[in-house]
Amino acid sequence: MSRDLHPRLLRSFAAVAESLHFGRAAERLHLAQQAVSRDVQALERELGCVLLHRSTRSVELTEAGAALLPKARQLLELQAEITALGDTRALLVDVNSLGGEREFTAERVLAAARRRCPEAELLARYHGGLTAAARELAAHRLDASFGRYAGLPAADRSRLVHVPVRLVPMAVFLPLGHPLAALPAVPLAALAGHPVDVFAGQPATAEWTDLGRRLFAEHGLAAAPGRTPPVGPAEFARYLARHGSPVLTTVEAHDIPGGVARPLVDPVPLSLLGLVHRTGSRRPGLAALRACAAELAAAEGWLCRPPGSWLPAEDAALLPG
């Protein structure tokens, strides 16, 4: 056995051990499957034992593999902490969309973190979808994001940490001439016969499309067909005028010329907004983000669920006990 063990070998082993699948582990690490397989084989040679039982149908941990996994995680986390000590890069934080004249939840958390940790440089980014942001996080092109964690694929969730931040009531955008636009709030039942756009044509926001489809399936409503989504308020206004369909959003939505946002009621559907970052990250700016998110949520009751509201079971399971 050599005196030095490369962390890459442990990282490949941990990814396979956690997913029990070489292909998914390779996707998670952004490596070729053959490279991950070589790393695990090299680690087994270094340690002189079999860590994984492989077959054409399954991958299982051996007794030695099960014993190694928690130790590998500890070593990888320690490596991340040591690396972070000399990391002076700006912390890139995706807040999804620019709030304009008013600060939305993600921007408020970011502003509070900047005040708490002025020595850290925290820069906002605007990816506009947690599905897209998860890929950027995995590739280390982004450090934190906000969005609906429960809607991400399991492979993405396994490499991310989630901090619940706020239960945000959902709403619909309506063209000014729409028959429901005159209502101060739109009962879900009133959407019958009015297919709602959930941006099914936007892969960057697949977690949001999933939430909308779950809501409508449970209440006997229809989603509009997928279309190429707009980018920016001006294009959104044109999109709304052209298609005329209600568009699912939240009460934090921007004002759009030619349209109005109306909250949904009976019941009030909720979207769980979370702060998401890579596992093992220990940077001071990120710690400030987490602390400020928790403090604001506690002070303003952001995670208090209203009676009779709607929230998918998998999202509800993420709320603090």
Nearest Cα residue to 180 out of 268, 271, 266, 264: 264
On whether residue 2 sits in a domain, the answer given is: no
Both 282 and 261 in one domain: the answer is no
On whether residue 115 sits in a domain, the answer given is: yes
Structure tokens at 213: 């489809």
Structural domain boundaries enclosing 42: 7-85
181 CB burial (10 A radius; 0-12, 13-18, 19+) = middle
Q: How far apart are the first and last CA of the chain?
A: 47
Both 17 and 134 in one domain: the answer is no
On whether residue 321 sits in a domain, the answer given is: no
Both 178 and 232 in one domain: the answer is yes
Q: What is the CATH number of the domain that holds 64?
A: 1.10.10.10
The structure tokens 């040679």 sit at 45
Question: Domain boundary residue among 67, 85, 103?
Answer: 85
Both 275 and 151 in one domain: the answer is yes
Question: Domain boundary residue among 41, 66, 85?
Answer: 85
User: What is the value of pTM for the model shown?
Assistant: 0.74
Helices 7-19 and 22-29: crossing angle, nearest 10°? 130
Backbone angles phi, psi at 127, to 5 degrees: -80, -30
Total domain count, the chain = 3
Please give the C-alpha separations between residue 163 and each of 83, 211, 319, in angstroms, as whole numbers.
Answer: 23, 18, 9
On whether residue 51 sits in a domain, the answer given is: yes
Amino acid, single-letter form, for residue 184: P
pLDDT in tens for each of the 321 residues of the chain?
456 788 889 989 988 998 898 988 887 777 889 999 999 999 999 999 999 999 888 899 999 999 999 998 888 877 766 665 555 678 999 997 655 555 789 999 999 999 999 998 999 988 778 999 998 888 888 999 999 999 998 878 888 999 999 999 999 999 998 999 999 999 999 999 999 999 887 888 999 999 999 999 999 999 988 888 787 778 888 888 888 889 999 998 877 888 999 999 999 999 999 999 988 777 889 999 999 999 999 999 999 999 999 999 999 999 997
Specify the pLDDT at position 1.
46
Both 159 and 290 in one domain: the answer is yes
